[in-house]
Amino acid sequence: MFLGRVAGTVWSTVKWPQTKGLKLLLVRPYRLGDVAPGAVRPGAEASEPTDDLVVCADTLDAGPGDDVLVAFGHAARVAVSEKLAPGAKPDVPIDAAVVAVVDRVEIDGEAGR
């Protein structure tokens, strides 16, 4: 999984039927220097996430500005299938999904260095 911030939304009409009704979000992952600045750039302040965007399915109704956890692979399909079709095989064609909307992140200042 990774920690990221929702940066936007993606729409599409031509897609696999299993993904009908599924919201797609653009999520930007945090890097170490974004959350523990001193670890990478001494004296730098905490900043916005800076990594490349990832497109994720969302079943938790996250929105732009929310910090979220995103799971990859089979774990993503398990999370989405549980909401779309409980009990069915996780065969939805996605490989990344929002699995939590983050309340709090605690960074140990010393460990981050």
H or E stretch including 51? none
Stretch that binds another protein, among 5-13, 17-25, 33-41 (CB under 8 A): 33-41
CB of 69 to another protein, least distance (A): 6
The least distance separating another protein from the CB of residue 31, rounded to whole angstroms, comes to: 5
Closest to 26 in 3D by CA, of 47, 11, 48: 11
Cα 56–Cα 61–Cα 62 angle in degrees, nearest 5 = 65
Choose the stretch contacting another protein; rule: CB under 8 A; options: 7-15, 17-25, 79-87.
79-87
What DSSP element (H or E) covers 41? Answer: none
Residue 19, by phi and psi: left (phi above 0), alpha (psi -120 to 50) or beta?
A: alpha
In the beta sheet, which residues pair with residue 23? 58
Q: Does 54 interact with another protein (rule: CB under 8 A)? A: no
The reply to whether 7 sits near another protein by the rule CB under 8 A is no
Considering only 7, 19, 23, 31, the residue that binds another protein (CB under 8 A) is 31
32 part of the interface to another protein, by CB under 8 A: yes
